[in-house]
Structures are given as structure tokens and as C-alpha cells.
Amino acid sequence: MAIKQFKPVTAGTRFRAVNTSSEVTRKGPEKSLVEALPEKGGRNHHGRITMRRRGGGHKRKYRIIDFRRDRFGMPAVVKEIEYDPNRSANIALVEYMDGERRYILHPVGVQVGQSVVSGPGSDIRPGNALPLAEIPLGTTVHNIELRRGRGGQMVRTAGAGAQIVAKEGQFVTLRMPSTEVRMVRSECFATIGQVGNADHSKQSIGKAGANRWRGNRPKVRGVVMNPVDHPLGGGEGRSSGGRHPVSPWGLKDGVKTRAKKKASNKLIVRGRKRGKSTK
């Protein structure tokens, strides 16, 4: 998909670059495969803001994506390729022989009219889903399961693809897009090919309003606030704060809060940070 660069007729269009949507064949979604997506504005079920700087934005509807690909052995024909406002990748509308329609992530090279199938014994072609144990070494895959039957949870963003580098026993070793090398159980399913819309990373927002369309509100630095509003506020002239970056409640910014997940970490052969092992 090509990138469109705007002429600098205004300050907002000077650096703006967007996708041309040349792959998209249909504008509106399939009505039977969408559901309401209420705006939360960063609030939890108590109405309290737990994620700051969220709110506004264009109204969206959620597209129900088939990450499980659990209709084995039945071919499905790609009917349309559509834009999805809830993810960076495009989605493909497929129709099975019995008339059922589903959305899947659109892989690179899959065109309208092409047939895709899932299940053990499927051909090694882009868009087909099958167990990792049956996929040859060196193949690029996406939409990878972590637990069998749960549906794809990894490698789903635009342009992403993981490579199968080794097989040993009940595990298959994958090189992830982040350069992390990890093991996944061989019975887990994955889809052949790379996720489409690879030029998504080349887009340039161009203006602050484009972030507001996406529901992202502005961020105000703590050092420009008053002392009553932030620990870094106040001072004579332009002060740098005088302490490590903290939140408005005095908690350190940038400190990792993720609990150590031993069951997951032991399957990581090489981490994505400086090639260090997590074992």
C-alpha cells in the first residue's frame, strides 16, 4: 500500500503522510460482524479515570475478528478487503461454502477471490492456518497462538511477521518481530505469511488534531505546573524539577511494574532487550 504525501498548503499538511488505501475494496463494514464500542474515556467500571489522556475521538464500531480460525477443512473465499479503525492492519472478509462470513487479518499477497483454508494438512500458502508443527522451517507466520484453542495473540500488527527457526520436541522456536526468540508449543496454530498494510509505520500524523481524532488528548509536563498540581512544579524561572521524573502522586515514572511471569519467561530463549536471556 502506497503512502500519500500532502502538499504543504497549510501547517497541518506540511509533514502529513497517510495510506492511500489502494488495497481496500469496500468502505462500510459487514453489519452482521460489528458491535457497539462505547467510549470509556480512560475510565473503569467505577467511573474513575485509570488511564489518563484518553477521550473524545471519532465514533467507532468494533469488527469481530476470527483469531481462532477453527473451521477446519472448509475453504473460504476472500470477498472484500476493508479498513479497520481499531487496529493498524487491514482485515479481509471471507465467506465459507455454507454462506457464513467472518473477518480475518489481511495477509500480504492475498487478493479478492482467492481461497483460504485452516486446519491440519492445509497447504503452505499465505492466509492458511495450521499447527506450527506442520509449517516448514524459515516460513514467516503471524496471528500465533500461545495456548491451543485460545486464538492468535501474537504478531497481529500491520507489517509484522515471525520466522520459524527451529523445532525440538513439543516446542517450536520463533524469531519475533522484536528480535526476541521464544518457544511455543507445536500444536498451537499460526497463519502463513506477513500481516498486510506494511506501510503503516511510514505514516506521519502531521498535526495535533489527527491525534484527537484517535481519542488521544494532550500531555502537560509536570515541570510547567504549579507545586499544588505536581511534585515537579514551581521554582523560579524555568526549573528542571530537581528530582527524578514522577507522577502527580509522587510515584517514579519509567519503573517496571510487571510481575515476573516464570511460566512465560522460561520459554523465552533470547530477550528483545540487548539480546539478553531472561532465564
Q: What is the pLDDT of residue 277?
A: 56
Q: Confirm whether 11 is domain-assigned.
A: no
Lowest mean pLDDT among 113-117, 153-157, 187-191, 261-265: 261-265
The overall average pLDDT reported for the chain is 93
- Give pTM, 2 decimals: 0.90
Say which DSSP state 30 is in. Answer: P
Q: Is the pLDDT of residue 276 over 80?
A: no
Nearest to 176 by CA among 256, 87, 109, 269: 269
Q: Confirm whether 212 is domain-assigned.
A: no
Q: Is the pLDDT of residue 138 over 90?
A: yes
Q: CA dihedral in degrees (111, 117, 122, 127; nearest 10)?
A: 40
Q: Confirm whether 242 is domain-assigned.
A: no
How many domains does the chain contain in total?
Answer: 1
Spell out the residues 6+ positions from residue 9 whose beta carbon is closer than 8 angstroms to its own.
none
Q: Confirm whether 87 is domain-assigned.
A: yes
pLDDT band at 259 (very low <50, low <70, confident <90, very high): confident
Q: Confirm whether 63 is domain-assigned.
A: yes
What is the number of other CB atoms lying within 10 angstroms of the CB of residue 195? 26
CATH number, domain with residue 103: 2.40.50.140
Q: Is the pLDDT of residue 279 over 60?
A: no
CA 135 from centroid of its chain's CA atoms: 23
Q: How far apart are CA 135 and CA 141, in angstroms?
A: 9
Q: What is the pLDDT of residue 261?
A: 77
Q: Is the pLDDT of residue 213 over 80?
A: yes
Q: Is the pLDDT of residue 274 over 70?
A: no
Q: Confirm whether 189 is domain-assigned.
A: yes
Q: Confirm whether 248 is domain-assigned.
A: no
CA 120 from centroid of its chain's CA atoms: 26
Euclidean distance between the first and final Cα of the chain, in Å?
40
> Region 263-274: what's the mean pLDDT?
83
Lowest mean pLDDT among 28-42, 72-86, 97-111, 244-258: 244-258
pLDDT band at 200 (very low <50, low <70, confident <90, very high): very high
> Region 82-111: what's the mean pLDDT?
96
Q: Confirm whether 220 is domain-assigned.
A: no
Which domain covers residue 91, as residue numbers? 19-201
Burial class (CB in 10 A: 0-12, 13-18, 19+), 127: buried
What is the number of other CB atoms lying within 10 angstroms of the CB of residue 53? 13
Which secondary structure element, helix H or strand E, spans residue 140, and what is its range? strand 140-142
pLDDT band at 161 (very low <50, low <70, confident <90, very high): very high
